[in-house]
Amino acid sequence: MVIQVWLRNQHDYQGAVTAIIQLGGDTDTTAAILGGIMGAAVGKTGIPQQWLKDLWPYPRSVNWIEALGQRLAVVTENGAGKSALSLPVYGIIAGNLLFF
């Protein structure tokens, strides 16, 4: 289903994610997979700005996610290993408690 929705919405991030969610089933997984494919195709500018503004993934921010993507690109291009980006343990615990 992810590939089918992607083929129908290759340049419409919001339309694609909305369509995959409306299909039902394991929507958090399928939307995450599709969002990754779409994001690679349309880039940050193709993602609705309101969606980026409304992200609340503490301690992971939009800037942290961008840094992770840049690190992945460097590792992929150079083949050299890099350490993982750090996250404050207290931030992860606090975020999990808040969402709980």
Query: What is the per-residue pLDDT across 12-63, written as a single tens digit (0 to 9) for each?
Result: 999 999 999 999 999 999 999 999 999 999 999 999 999 988 887 777 888 8
pLDDT of res. 32: 96
Closest CA to 9 of 33, 38, 46, 48: 38
Closest CA to 39 of 58, 75, 78, 65: 65
Rounded to 5°, the CA angle 32-87-93 comes to: 85
Sorted by where each begins, the domain ranges of the chain are 1-46, 55-100
Tell me: the pLDDT tens digits for 62-78? 888 889 888 988 899 98
pTM equals: 0.73
pLDDT of res. 21: 97
